[in-house]
Chains A and B, each alone.
Chain A
Amino acid sequence: MKVSNSYIGRPMERVEDLRMVRGKGTYVADVNRPGQLYAVILRSSVAHGKIRSFDATKALELPGVRHVLTAGDLGTVVPRIPLRLQPLPELEPFHQPVLADQKVRYVGEPVAVVIADSAAVAEDALEHIDLHIDVLPAITNREQAEARRAVLFENHGSNTAITWKAFRSSADAVEEAFKTADYVRREQFKIQRHAAMFMEPRGFVAEWNEAAGKLTVWGAAKTAWHNRRVLAAALGLDVEAVDLIEVDVGGGFGSRGEFYPEDYLIPAAAKLVRRPVKWTEDRREHMMSANHARDIECDVEIAVSREGRFIGLRGQIWADIGAYLRTNGSVGPRNVAQYMSGPYCFENIDLKSSMLTTNKTPSGTYRGPGRFETDFIRERLIDIVAKDLKIDRVELRRRNLVADSQMPYPLASITPYDSSTELDSGDYHAVFDLCMKEFGWAEKSKLSGKLIDGYYHGFAVGSFIEGGAAGPKEDARLVLETNGLLSVYLGSSSVGQGLETIMAQIAADATELPYEKITINHGSTSHVKDGYGAYHSRSTVMGGSAILLAAEKLKVRIREVAAARFACSPDDVTIDGEQVEHSSKYLQLADLSDTPLEVEASFFNKKYTWAYGTQAAHVAVDPGTGHVKVIDYLSVEDVGRMINPLTLHGQAIGSIVQGLGGAFLEHLVYDEEGQLLTGSFADYLMPTASDFPIIRSITLELKPCPNNPLGAKGAGEGGLIPVGGIMANAVADALSHLNVQPMELPLSPPRIWQLVQAAEVDRATT
């Protein structure tokens, strides 16, 4: 009987849940090592200044305080954190030192590390450290940055780190296109600073084994192998002497797992004091030290023909990246420029994206980096154009969506650190139409602008693309144990996406072994020779494809070993689930060998996958309070192939709600002195269970990806990508009688109220 598994595509309940619903997950704060000490970080309370003096004498006198680690402990040169992505030499001036080096550049910048018998005592010690900083003017906005009111990096001379250029077609052609276009509209938009804000604060437990010369660090996530190389180099250790272990991870969303100062400081502390050192950040600390994101302004133009054909996009984007360039801090600003066209045809693109340094927490990627921002910009422009040209908003979009026959469709290229990509496959129109039908647009949108029971009703639709599966590669190692169980070791990381379940489904189908006999081990540097991790929605495609390749290798190996036992050629061996057969003789895999059978494989990939979709929404706006009720929200996305519909659907809903948080609630606010005013959950507002009750999501497998054996497209981030634009457009639609045009996020009640006031004044005076 031929076994044929089909776990791929099944909504399997998750393996992870069995421990997590019982509170038996192990997160880094749950890890304890014998004899451990506790670290608390002294952080700058000044946004910009020169460190004049530092004295920890009184702190060291407190009972239980063991050491205060300062820049002086780190050698002659304070190590600086290299870039993981787009590591251009001209960006080196902006690398962050692991401890403030003579200067502080943002509130929250690490200055020293207190190591004590308990976290509470270490925190007590902070108050006894004398730190004197000569305050310099703080740069907190673009005008100040460009006017050089102060310069963060004196050697660089300006507060503009670099300007990326995204282009499609030549500069001359773009200029010509705009000159001759029937219609050009220019607007300025702003998206607010907010952040991933995962629920588990970051932490590390680091242990240095002097005798073995080995460093072990618990708390890794996302990019453990890269971080291991960086850490080993910074500490002067061989890579093999360092082991980064990923335990359960409480969310990442692109922000956890990058190499932060603490990724160096805690292991360095452990090495220095020769005791295990444990550090967990608290929420206030998290808000001022984990990557911020999305702080974007722009001045852009769209060119359109009279019949409503999109011709071009051009303009300038400014990204406020904070005080240093973080390991992947260029990704968001680049993506705003490179992906502004989204799923629509734009032949002429000339967009510049400048990264400005300011005295704020440094920025990095947060789910759909640059894409949430750029979709807000583009979808707003499209609705504004529709109104000007008197073309229906739905029709205008349909007219310009990239067609299947145009695939692969090149998007804008970007330079320097050149990158080009093309849309791979998709029936954007079919998905768009399905969304409109499922939403009931034709009927519902008749309520556009109507006032019912004190609320103005509004509707909006938007399409999006979601890039995934960044390469260059991922590794998988399969071990068929002597008892017939299969252990899978992956370079992929878990950030809560159900990796253990999804990969087991793929492995079960690929090896045809029982699902229950497969265990997935992930994310620790001891597991595979080289891994890359979880980012850019790549785990399913990259890790999953690596498993497929490794499974083929395992089958070859099994046939070889069986052939020796059967005394036949490997070609004459048949594998059937848990047994092998030759000429009606059978052997169980569990009896095949005295030693485990082990294979390793790499999947290489250069092409991004492009999941895509359309979302539609119905809102009701209270003009008195400015409150927006989301009455219905529907997302339809084609992901090529679903491994686990249950987890995929979960990601979509969760992502949409994050987008709604970004559209309405979340905002990291600074004052003119660079003080972070939103330092707790009382002020940084996250969506709760009562805010957005109706969220609907449909996932399709319409057009598989042609570029990987699974046919899958990375799809963890899409939900939130168009949300900002759609919500702003829906509000504009609701208040169209006043011509309210939101140009800025978040759509807070006071902002909407102000737009209504201004519009009513306009109306009264014209």
Chain B
Amino acid sequence: MKPPVFEYASPSTIAEAVSLLASGNGNAKVISGGQSLMPMLAFRLASPELLVDLKHLKNLNAISVGDDGVRLGAKVRWCDIEADQRLARNHPLLAEAIKHVAHYQIRNRGTIGGSLAHADPSAEMPGVALTCDAQITIVGSRGTRIEKAADFFTGPLQTSLEPDEILTEVHLPVWPVARRWAFREFARRKGDFAMAGVALFYDLDEKDRVVDAHIGAIGVSDCPIRLTAAEAALNGNAITEEAIAVAVRAAKSSIDPPSDIHAPGAYRRSLVGTLLARSLQQSAS
């Protein structure tokens, strides 16, 4: 399974990288960690003519925690997130979700930018980005733009990135200390892609009622999705067994998961319900 022939460049600046991508006329691809791209090349599912390696680009691998939230450079690796002690407090949902990504060796190379750009419907990072209303900074020939996560994922393995664009940063809004949250996924084995996963958070008003519920699901559609029906069912209510049951019913009827060799759609639907119920119970305790 040797990759097909391609040219390789490792520019020193983002501007150079963008220019190289633009010159590729749609046949150039970014490589950074390579943990998603390399298998595709090995299976010859992708045949780019040029790989543009972000290896030498500086200032893309910082994690900054501030008053406006958490900013992750595109080259931040899973092991960097794991090692950053601040995130357990400043973004526990991110910290927890990332624990489920892949395996040790992959975590030393795989990047959040790569994960978002690859947009696997079962991947954790796109799920977290969507659920948390992340803002994604993108640089291309036409300049810099900031895209909401909700607009970024457009289909299975598809994003709004143009061929000459590079994702440079992800910004997660500030995380209130009192926020309730949970992340649960179910995979066949540790580190596998989730058969389904739920990421959620909400705040409580002075009467302990849910406000601003955000519930995201992965593995049940072409892209990560928000379970808006479940959110609506929860908002304004206290977290009780009954409220959870209503939210779960709403979630299940609002999705139509695909079937594949690993699971039928009906199973995934049920799984989302189970994960949602357990997540809500956990968040409430």
Contact = CB atoms under 8 A, between A and B. Distances in A.
Interface of A: 119-120, 123-124, 282-284, 624-627, 665, 667, 669, 677-678, 680, 682-683, 685, 687-688, 690-691, 748-750, 753-754, 757
Interface string B179-206: 0000000101111100100000000000
Contacts of A283: 1
Contact of B261 (A624, A625, A627, A677): A677
A587 B50 CA distance: 74
A90 to B, nearest CB: 36
Contacts of B178: none
B264 A688 contact: no
Contact of B192 (A284, A677, A685): A685
A669 B261 contact: yes
Contact of B2 (A120, A685, A754): A120
Interface stretch (B61-69, B74-82, B145-153, B266-274): B266-274
Contacts of B177: none
B83 interface: no
14 contacts: A119-B2, A124-B4, A282-B1, A283-B1, A624-B274, A625-B274, A665-B189, A680-B43, A685-B189, A688-B189, A691-B189, A749-B195, A753-B267, A753-B270
A625 B271 contact: yes
B186 A625 contact: yes
A124 B190 contact: no
Interface residues of B, number: 23
A690 B189 contact: yes
Contacts of A682: 39
A479 B6 CA distance: 55
B277 to A, nearest CB: 8
Given A625-B186, A665-B189, A691-B189, A284 B1 contact: yes
Given A750-B267, A753-B270, 18 more contacts: A123-B2, A282-B1, A284-B43, A624-B270, A624-B278, A625-B271, A677-B261, A683-B262, A685-B189, A688-B189, A690-B190, A749-B195, A749-B263, A750-B262, A750-B263, A750-B264, A753-B271, A754-B264
A634 B195 CA distance: 30
Interface of B: 1-5, 39, 43, 186, 188-192, 195, 261-264, 267, 270-271, 274, 278
Contacts, number: 58
Nearest to A687: B189
Contacts of A683: 261-262
Given A625-B271, A625-B274, A678 B190 contact: no
Most B Cβ at <10 Å: residue of A667, A687, A750, A753: A750
A688 B190 contact: yes
A680 B45 CA distance: 13
A231 to B, nearest CB: 27
Nearest to A282: B1
Most A Cβ at <10 Å: residue of B1, B186, B191, B271: B1
Nearest to B268: A750
A124 B267 contact: no
Nearest to A669: B261
A582 B4 CA distance: 73
A289 B274 CA distance: 40
Contacts of A690: 189-190
A658 B191 CA distance: 20
Nearest to B259: A750
A580 B5 CA distance: 68
A750 B43 CA distance: 28
Contacts of B271: 624-625, 753
Main secondary structure of the interface of B (DSSP, over half): loop
Minimum-distance CB pairs A-B, first 3:
A120-B2, A624-B274, A282-B1
A407 to B, nearest CB: 43
Contacts of A757: 270
A754 B3 CA distance: 41
Most A Cβ at <10 Å: residue of B4, B39, B189: B189
Contact of A678 (B188, B189, B261): B261
B186 A627 contact: yes
Contacts of B195: 749
A283 B39 CA distance: 12
Contact of A124 (B5, B43, B263, B270): B5
A319 B36 CA distance: 38
A669 B186 CA distance: 22
A677 to B, nearest CB: 5
A609 to B, nearest CB: 36
A465 to B, nearest CB: 31
Contacts of A677: 261
A685 B262 CA distance: 10
A398 B262 CA distance: 39
Contacts of A667: 261
B219 to A, nearest CB: 13
A176 B258 CA distance: 52
Contacts of B267: 626, 749-750, 753-754
A283 B188 CA distance: 21
A665 B261 contact: no
Contacts of B190: 688, 690-691
A17 B267 CA distance: 46
Nearest to A756: B270
Contacts of A119: 2
Contacts of B1: 123, 282-284
A690 B187 CA distance: 13
Nearest to A670: B261
B261 A749 contact: no
A691 B4 CA distance: 35
Contacts of A284: 1, 43
Contacts of A688: 189-191
Contacts of A687: 189
Nearest to A689: B190
A441 B39 CA distance: 47
A123 B189 CA distance: 33
Contacts of B3: 120
A123 B3 CA distance: 9
Nearest to B273: A624
Nearest to B1: A282
A750 B257 CA distance: 14
Nearest to A454: B278
A749 B274 contact: no
Nearest to B270: A753
Contacts of A665: 188-189
A656 to B, nearest CB: 17
Contacts of B261: 667, 669, 677-678, 683
B116 to A, nearest CB: 20
Contacts of B191: 688
B186 A749 contact: yes
A691 B261 CA distance: 21
A584 B273 CA distance: 88
A752 to B, nearest CB: 10
B67 to A, nearest CB: 39
